[in-house]
Structure 1
Amino acid sequence: MTQHLTDIHLQVLTYLALLEETDLDELSYVSELPDSDCEAELMDMAAAGTAKWGNGPDAWVVTDAGRAEHARGVTAELEKVGARELVAQTHDVVTHWGDDQAAVAEAVVRLAARMRRFAGYGHRLEAAAEGRGPEEWDRVVALLKKDLATTLGLA
């Protein structure tokens, strides 16, 4: 498997684990990946037992095995990239300054430059701040905070 595919897998698994239940459109939106990439990953995850179709119409859910793989994957990614301090700083900004849209956006830009997986938050935060996306600011910040905590092994 190439690094690019590994990155896509972790990105899809991360958002599925964070959302816990989602459809293909939402997963594609939050991950900034084409539907076809998300769908291919979901099919692979279903075959591996880390995701399943269920819990409602058009809903994918993460399994316990998927949550465990996700925890291992983000820990390995963090160590490989060597960005623990940057993730911790971003977590601090989001935790203490979550309502400061400029501070959160700036912290995410810095982190996304090191860890591509966090790049999807940029457009979501911008859209939420401008009131033109499908998500409210607080929801995006809550998922970002959960993602950061999981990455740091705090969740």
Structure 2
Amino acid sequence: MPDDVRSDDSQGPPVPSWFSLDAARQVLDASPFAAWWGVGLTEVRPGRATLLLPWREHFLRPGGVMQGACCMMLGDVATWIAMMAQVEQWERAVTLEMKTNFLGAARCDLWCEGWVVKAGRRSVFCQAATRDAEGRQVAHHTVTYLLP
């Protein structure tokens, strides 16, 4: 097996061998929340991850829009996986802070891309953008992880 594994056939740097797309899916599948939400991992690259949350009727709040927790979960999980794809000591990292700005309502599937902005010795600062099926950004997230 090669030292590095690509997440897909696209160009770009390979994902570190300790965290391939398959490894990321295994981590997500082992998390009970992933099955309940129905979230799927579509791409992993060094310091980046993209997730899909399919629209479900039970995600709607009054007014027929997706509840804010949908966006927040996507931002949290996308940055968590992006951090895993860059930082070897990810297993014991914990969320130190998370902030979400809601930019618009969504009534359809949601996509979220998370990325590492800066990885230090004790903390990792990440951002994420949640978009609707038409590509309109509906939320912006910042997340900081504390490393062991």
TM-score of the superposition, structure 2-length normalised?
0.27
More strand by share: 2
More helix by share: 1
